[in-house]
A and B are shown apart, each in its own frame.
Chain A
Amino acid sequence: MIDFPILIFSAFALVLLAAGVGVITARNPVHAALFLVLAFFTGSGLWLMLEAEFLAIALVLVYVGAVMVLFLFVVMMLNIDLDRLREGFWKHLPLGAGVALLMVAEMLLVVTSKQFSTLGSSLPPSPGNISNTRELGLVLYTDYVYPFELAAVILLVAIVAAIALTLRRRKDSKHLDPAWQVRVRASDRIRIVSMRSEKDQ
């Protein structure tokens, strides 16, 4: 008999793995981005199971809600040439496979080492009725108010920099200035020339 949490964990983990494989194998970049959204959702589900509800919500709000939507926008707006991306796959395969094997070997070394074995033991029991969102909020605006404000200043720099680097007043735009239109006088538009009548001659 498998207990219920393990069942849920397995379901989430399997979907996460499948979505991860989908991200790198999907031929269409939009599909790949959508698979990534699925991976984020299932990842946040796993975090919920660890009672890290704040992280789970932040992952959905920030990554799915903001980052991935922007990403999709970019992918849809840029006309990415898929054939060029796939070029040289076989040429780079040996190097890529070598790096992948190295990483697998390193991970195996870390996971099977003595220091890592403590993680296999059971987690300390949760003290019960504690909301970690509330606890985070309490320290974020008190003990960590200084770094918090600094992070806000960094975001302000990002706004200023983004505007300074991208905003251009187009010289060729045909916009009209109503104030200037209203102030127009007859002398700006027509010139009255006095001419002698030619009929009598």
Chain B
Amino acid sequence: MTFATPNLVPVYPEIFLLVALSAILIADLFVSETHRFLTYAYTQLALVGTAGFLVLGATGVPLTTFGGMFVDDPMARTLKLVAVLAVALMLAYSRSYNQQRGLFRGEFHVLILFALLGIMVMVSANHFLVLYLGLELLSLSMCALIALQRDSAQSTEAAMKYFVLAALASGLLLYGLSMLYGATGSLQMALVSNSILSGSADPAILVFGLVFVVAGLAFKLGVVPFHMWVPDVYEGAPTAVTLFVSTAPKIAAFAFFMRLLVGALGSLVSDWQSMLVIVSVLSMLVGNVTAIAQTNIKRMLAYSTISHMGFLLLGILSGSLGGYAAAMFYVVAYVLMSLGAFGVILLLGREGFEADQLDDFKGLNKRNPWVAFMMLLIMISMAGVPVSVGFFAKLSVLSAVLDAGMTWLVVVAVLMSLIGAFYYLRVIKLMYMDEPEDTTPIVAEADHRILIGLNALAILVLGILPQPLIDLCLASITQSMRG
């Protein structure tokens, strides 16, 4: 038996992150409560190091290692970089929130890094087993994070719901994957794809497995009819964790769809396309309509996430490289907007007070015009108004669907986003036209205010000059999905 040592160079970012987080886990034991800031600084350093490895190690060509279980391609590099950036921003936004609520602990930072590792593993997975392990790594870390505020009954309830439903979704997914394994005889994505192309796999078993796989994926992405956990988790989790749940894992879910549906099951496109159409239309409908009735802004943003994920699926279901690139652009834009929206909620909160009701935004312009303007930019971007990145994200996804010849779907999507514009604009109306109910001055750390500003500015700049990001997404997708 011979065994060649695998090429570890493409895996350097993951290895560095794992080593760094283990070091932080140990170092945190020796940091006293008053110097907890050090743990935060180490965590940010670990993220900078990981980003460095990601940028410096980029080769521009797809590489596989560990016997084809791990794939490193431009799409993976770009998505991992966005995930690392999102986590770094999320930690910066949530620092003072956590300090005020006793969540500024070593475990919080370590669990976030574990979840990021899970995301990176999923993004680079080229084997069903690895994909599943990455998913569990992410799910378990997220579950612990949601429950971290353990004296809050609402957090515990949300974590319990998430845990049970995530286990159910994993079960569905594994059942589907076992069917695919039974039909094709392999767990390796490339071999599965070849086996389907050669026609040796039984199509009935393949489609049977596909139904379960799509259901499991839809659960993880949080789209209708598997969306029940999203609003409860968003509302119940501490806002800092909600911010995490709504950003980086969406990148992993996008990569999950790409690797599994496009990479391994690409030749079954006509089968999964029709399933995704149903899921996508229902998500846009239920998400946008239910969001109108919410009074809690975290819940409202949860339903808005559901509708955004429905939009994201439009890009994937169009089944073309342009569509996949549009979906990737959408997920990056969505992560930026969601970071900003929850960043503002965190900024407005203070000790013993969560700014999680819509009424808390009343008259924000009179209390702090700068923050109100940032929220305005984020909201118009989520609604998809021109000169914001959200507009181009929706536009590119819709043009991909139009190219695929599904005009009715474009009409439905535009109608849905018109409905959606109502509740985004309501937030703006509350901020600018209503009198403030609460006149406590808004205090925030300088880094938080500057980063929110940069975040909203990025939304504006990418809305005016979206071309570089669109080109980057298109290049990543074409170089990665060519083979």
CB within 8 Å of B: which residues of A? 138, 142-147, 150-151, 153-154, 156-158, 160-161, 163-165
Contact = CB atoms under 8 A, between A and B. Distances in A.
Most buried by B among A147, A151, A158: A147
Contacts of B114: 153, 156-157, 160
Contacts of B111: 157, 160-161, 164
Contacts of B105: 164
B141 interface: yes
- What 4 pairs across the A-B complex have the smallest Cβ distances? A161-B144, A164-B107, A150-B133, A146-B66
A144 to B, nearest CB: 8
Given A146-B66, A153-B114, A160-B144, 11 more contacts: A146-B70, A147-B130, A150-B130, A154-B136, A154-B137, A157-B114, A158-B140, A161-B140, A161-B144, A164-B105, A165-B148
Contacts of B410: none
A146 B3 contact: no
A160 B117 CA distance: 15
A154 B6 CA distance: 22
Interface of B: 1, 3, 6, 18, 25, 66-67, 69-70, 105, 107, 110-111, 114, 117, 121, 127, 129-130, 133-134, 136-137, 140-141, 143-144, 147-148, 150
Contacts of B67: 143
A158 B137 CA distance: 9
Nearest to A153: B137
B248 to A, nearest CB: 16
A157 B134 CA distance: 12
16 contacts: A142-B3, A144-B129, A146-B6, A146-B69, A147-B69, A147-B129, A153-B117, A153-B137, A157-B144, A158-B140, A160-B25, A160-B111, A161-B111, A161-B143, A164-B144, A165-B144
Contacts of A158: 140
B352 to A, nearest CB: 20
Contacts of B140: 154, 157-158, 161
A181 to B, nearest CB: 21
Contacts of B144: 157, 160-161, 164-165
Contacts, number: 61
Nearest to B4: A142
Q: Is the interface of A mostly helix, strand, loop or mixed?
A: helix
Contacts of A156: 114
A160 B21 CA distance: 12
Contacts of B6: 145-146
B57 to A, nearest CB: 17
B280 to A, nearest CB: 31
Contacts of A151: 133
A101 B14 CA distance: 50
A111 to B, nearest CB: 17
A47 B451 CA distance: 60
Contacts of B127: 147
Contacts of A146: 6, 66, 69-70, 130
Given A160-B111, A161-B140, A147 B133 contact: yes
Most buried by B among A146, A151, A163, A165: A146
Given A143-B3, A160-B110, A153 B147 contact: no
A29 to B, nearest CB: 22
A193 to B, nearest CB: 37
A165 B152 CA distance: 12
Given A153-B114, A153-B137, A160 B3 contact: no
Contacts of B133: 147, 150-151, 154
Contacts of A147: 69, 127, 129-130, 133
A146 B137 CA distance: 14
Nearest to A138: B1
A158 to B, nearest CB: 7
B69 A165 contact: no
A146 B147 CA distance: 29
B134 A150 contact: yes
Most buried by B among A153, A160, A165: A153
Nearest to A150: B133
Contacts of B134: 150
A122 B393 CA distance: 59
Nearest to B159: A165
A161 B114 CA distance: 11
Contacts of B148: 164-165
A151 B118 CA distance: 11
Contacts of A144: 129
A110 to B, nearest CB: 13
Contacts of B69: 146-147
B177 to A, nearest CB: 14
Nearest to B3: A142
Contacts of A157: 111, 114, 137, 140-141, 144
B265 to A, nearest CB: 21
Contacts of A160: 25, 107, 110-111, 114, 144
Given A143-B67, A160-B107, A161-B111, A150 B137 contact: yes
Nearest to A163: B107
A50 to B, nearest CB: 20
Contact of A145 (B18, B66, B137, B141): B66
Nearest to B151: A168
A150 B140 CA distance: 13
A198 B6 CA distance: 93
Contacts of B147: 165
Nearest to A168: B150
A150 B118 CA distance: 9
Contacts of A164: 105, 107, 111, 144, 148
A158 B127 CA distance: 23
A138 B137 CA distance: 25
